[in-house]
Amino acid sequence: MDLFSSLLLAAVFIILMIVLRRAFGRLAARVFQISEERAQVMVWLGLCAVLLVFFVAEGRLEWSLLVGLAALYGLYRARKVFRKERVYS
């Protein structure tokens, strides 16, 4: 797979994760009666965990690194969201 195809596939992958985060985040917020932002962060980290385990098991290092970076972004957002909620409560 050449570089352009890999970058295109990575972009589609990230867009799909963002769409899933928003859709399942709204659902989780309603079900568990928590803020939508907090639910989206939890869904994002859950998706990253599942995908990271899958890609490591398959031996795909480049995808594992991409998901690892997405997980770090999720941890950064979680820190921001939980800190904001602690200040407002």
Would you state the pLDDT for residue 89? 61
| pTM score | 0.81
Virtual CA dihedral for 36, 25, 29, 69, nearest 10 degrees?
-70
Would you state the pLDDT for residue 72? 94
Q: Where are the domains of the chain?
A: 3-88
Would you state the pLDDT for residue 68? 92
Query: pLDDT tens, 25-78?
Result: 999 999 999 999 999 999 999 999 998 998 899 888 888 898 999 999 999 999
Distance CA(51)–CA(32), nearest Å, equals: 23
